[in-house]
Amino acid sequence: GEDVEQSLFLSVREGDSSVINCTYTDSSSTYLYWYKQEPGAGLQLLTYIFSNMDMKQDQRLTVLLNKKDKHLSLRIADTQTGDSAIYFCAEWGSGGYNKLIFGAGTRLAVHP
Amino acid sequence: DTGVSQNPRHKITKRGQNVTFRCDPISEHNRLYWYRQTLGQGPEFLTYFQNEAQLEKSRLLSDRFSAERPKGSFSTLEIQRTEQGDSAMYLCASSLISAGYEQYFGPGTRLTVT
């Protein structure tokens, strides 16, 4: 079946690193994603990783994929107050479908 | 602005009324998707179009919902006889056929049914 799970809340101090975790159940997922949503706004595609990769780095963002454990993480280095948002993990391609399947989102709160 | 646009951004309606939302995808994108997001949840897939053809529909898309993309450009999502349970954010996304895995979202239409 298709299921994506995330912890609901994370609080970090400004300047520290944040690590947001996600687990998924469908091993046929082709791509895995991190989207960011600020209050009242749509979703911003932050980064994604192909399922045959285990790491992707993009400026302050590092994505780690453990395909054996079906675990995805997003590390944000030097977290800033502007990073406060809800972060959604998603998968695409499971079952051959073209839809994204999202987790419930992790609310990241950055405090001084 | 060359991103996905959606109108209206907010809609308040009374139960039983019909509503229609519009999505304009990124201009060269030939796939268009609709998702629904309720409070505290991630978006859930409703349907998608490839050009003007509607290729997949979720079980969430009841008979009261209809989506169209008549000329393969903008799309409309209509909800007939709205119910309070329809209150949600309706999100549109678009992609290229060759990159269906790279979906870009619009700002959404927030529907409140009173």
pLDDT of residue A2: 64
- Name the residue of chain B whose CA is nearest to A87's CA: B42
Lowest mean pLDDT among A101-110, B52-61, B96-105: B96-105
pLDDT band at residue B97 using 50, 70 and 90 as cut-offs: confident
How many beta-carbon contacts under 8 Å exist across A and B?
61
Cross-chain CB nearest to B106 (options A35, A42, A93): A42
pLDDT band at residue B1 using 50, 70 and 90 as cut-offs: low
Cross-chain CB nearest to B45 (options A4, A100, A103): A100
Name the average pLDDT for chain A.
92
Amino acid, single-letter form, for residue B89: M
Percentage above 70 pLDDT, chain B: 99
Beta carbons of A87 and A74 less than 8 angstroms apart? yes
Task: Answer whether residue B100 shows pLDDT above 80.
Answer: no
pLDDT of residue B3: 92
DSSP string, B70-110: TTSS-EEEEESS--GGG-EEEEEEEE-GGGTT--EE---EE
pLDDT of residue A96: 67
pLDDT of residue A51: 87
Tell me the C-alpha distance between A65 and A23, whole Å: 10
Regions of chain A where pLDDT drops below 70: 1-2, 95-96
How far is A112 from chain B, CA to nearest CA, in Å?
A: 25
pLDDT of residue B96: 87
Beta bridge partners of B75: B23
> Would you call A104 and B41 a contact, using CB atoms and an 8 Å cutoff?
yes
> Would you call A90 and B42 a contact, using CB atoms and an 8 Å cutoff?
yes
How far is A75 from chain B, CA to nearest CA, in Å?
A: 20
Tell me the C-alpha distance between A43 and B92, whole Å: 10
- Whether B100 and chain A come into contact, CB under 8 Å, resolves to yes
- Whether A44 and chain B come into contact, CB under 8 Å, resolves to yes
Pair of tokens at residue A61: 């963002």
pLDDT band at residue B76 using 50, 70 and 90 as cut-offs: very high
Measured in Å, how far apart are chain A's first and last C-alpha atoms? 41
Q: How far is CA A51 from the centre of its chain?
A: 14
The residue-averaged pLDDT of B68-75 equals 93
- Whether B32 and chain A come into contact, CB under 8 Å, resolves to no
- Name the residue of chain A whose CA is nearest to B99's CA: A98
- Name the residue of chain A whose CA is nearest to B100's CA: A98
Closest Cα to residue B24, out of B40, B3, B44? B3
DSSP string, A18-78: EEEEEEE--TT--EEEEEEE-TT--EEEEEEEETT-SEEEETTEEEEEETTTTEEEEEESS
- Whether A19 and chain B come into contact, CB under 8 Å, resolves to no
